[in-house]
């Protein structure tokens, strides 16, 4: 199992390096980064000095090697706009994004797992109808559109919750709901299908034949054995929430790394963009690694497969 984890860690490093390389190339082919920094009609000498200051006068392969060399130590340079260290700007706002994504993740689990189990068991038809409706609606609504509707309803018309900013837990409710809607709907449908498959298994019929109460069969036998697909998808949800926070943070003016990334893209602040991508890539691969480890702990067959693979 230790070798399996080590292999996953190596894979994580390669994924992060690939993401950073792809973003570097995309930023280069999208246009000259200096265009956003140089006012029209600037003196050619000033233009040359500015390009030299930011290393844009070097050949592209050399720029890439310098970028990767410094990135390996966590140094992405200084922001072209503020002059502050790019990585520090991202890390200063990371806490707000992690708070938002963690809240949305917990909310998605609290809604999706109970609804999926009850709907998949087939014993509660009204719950199944509600779950089907919520699944379709949740997957059909983009997070930024849902966020706008929530602001109009609960902030503008009812005045119950703040519409933007980070001012205590009340300001977290609307962005967390907007961000959790899509993963909750998808996760609920996965749990529902998994539970429906498990309910027909022989050992479930045996448990029912022994006269065990229905809630014990659902919680101890059905739900526990149907959670593996949900756990696998939970790793994807973690990455989706971090990436999806960009739009939600923009709608609610939430001071996280998503809002910082949008501002940096608009101003072509390459060091901040590159630092943002590196942090997001690390968070996504960590979420997937955590999901793999949880799945191994939940299913002995996965541990045995990992052990046998390590011995080969």
Residue 289 has pLDDT above 50, yes or no: yes
Is residue 310 very low, low, confident or very high in pLDDT (cuts 50, 70, 90)?
very low
**Residues 36-49, mean pLDDT to the nearest whole number:** 67
Is residue 312 very low, low, confident or very high in pLDDT (cuts 50, 70, 90)?
very low
User: How far, in whole angstroms, is CA 273 from its chain's centroid?
Assistant: 17
**Residues 77-99, mean pLDDT to the nearest whole number:** 86
Q: What angle do CA 108, 114, 119 make, to 5 degrees?
A: 115
Residue 10 has pLDDT above 60, yes or no: yes
Domains annotated on the chain, with CATH: 86-311 (1.10.3720.10)
Residue 303 has pLDDT above 80, yes or no: no
Is residue 245 very low, low, confident or very high in pLDDT (cuts 50, 70, 90)?
confident
Q: CA torsion 193→198→201→203, rounded to 10°?
A: -170
Is residue 37 very low, low, confident or very high in pLDDT (cuts 50, 70, 90)?
low
Q: 85 — phi, psi (to 5°)? A: -55, 130
**What span, in angstroms and rounded, lies between the C-alpha atoms of 242 and 294?**
20
Residue 214 has pLDDT above 70, yes or no: no
Which pLDDT tens digit goes with each residue over 100-131?
988 988 898 888 888 887 777 766 677 767 77
Check residue 217 and give its pLDDT. Answer: 63
Beta pairing partners, 85: 78
Q: Considering the chain, what is the average pLDDT of its residues?
A: 77
With beta carbons less than 8 A apart as the criterion, state whether 3 and 46 touch: no
The fraction of the chain above a pLDDT of 90, given in percent, is 1
CB atoms within 10 A of CB 254: 26
Which pLDDT tens digit goes with each residue over 120-170?
776 667 776 777 777 778 778 888 888 889 899 888 888 888 888 788 788
């Amino acid at each position: 199992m230790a070798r399996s984890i080590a292999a996953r860690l190596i894979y994580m490093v390669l994924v992060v390096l690939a993401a950073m390389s792809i973003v570097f190339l995309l930023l280069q082919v999208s246009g000259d980064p200096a265009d956003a920094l140089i006012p029209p009609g600037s003196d050619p000498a000033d233009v040359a000095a500015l390009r030299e200051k930011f290393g844009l006068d070097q050949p592209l392969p050399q720029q890439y090697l310098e970028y990767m060399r410094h990135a390996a130590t966590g140094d992405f340079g200084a922001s072209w706009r503020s002059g502050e260290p790019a990585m520090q700007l991202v890390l200063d706002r990371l806490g707000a994004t992690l708070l938002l994504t963690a809240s949305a993740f917990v909310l998605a689990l609290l809604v999706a797992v109970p609804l999926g189990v009850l709907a998949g068991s087939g014993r509660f038809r009204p719950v199944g109808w509600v779950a089907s409706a919520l699944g379709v609606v949740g997957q059909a609504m983009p997070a930024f559109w849902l966020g706008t509707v929530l602001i109009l309803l609960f902030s503008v018309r009812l005045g119950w919750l703040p519409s933007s900013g980070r001012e205590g837990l009340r300001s977290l409710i609307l962005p967390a709901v907007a961000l959790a809607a899509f993963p909750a709907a998808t996760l609920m449908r996965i749990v529902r299908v998994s539970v429906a498959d498990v309910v027909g298994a022989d050992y479930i019929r045996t448990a029912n034949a022994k006269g065990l109460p229905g809630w014990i069969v659902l919680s101890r036998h059905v739900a526990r054995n149907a959670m593996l697909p949900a756990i696998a998808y939970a790793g994807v949800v973690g990455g989706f929430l971090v990436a999806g926070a960009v739009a939600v943070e923009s709608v609610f003016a939430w001071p996280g790394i998503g809002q910082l990334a949008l501002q940096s893209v608009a101003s072509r602040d390459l060091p901040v963009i590159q630092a943002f991508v590196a942090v997001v890539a690390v968070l996504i691969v960590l979420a997937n690694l955590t999901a793999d480890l949880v799945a191994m702990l939940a299913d002995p067959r996965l541990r045995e497969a990992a052990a046998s693979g390590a011995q080969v």
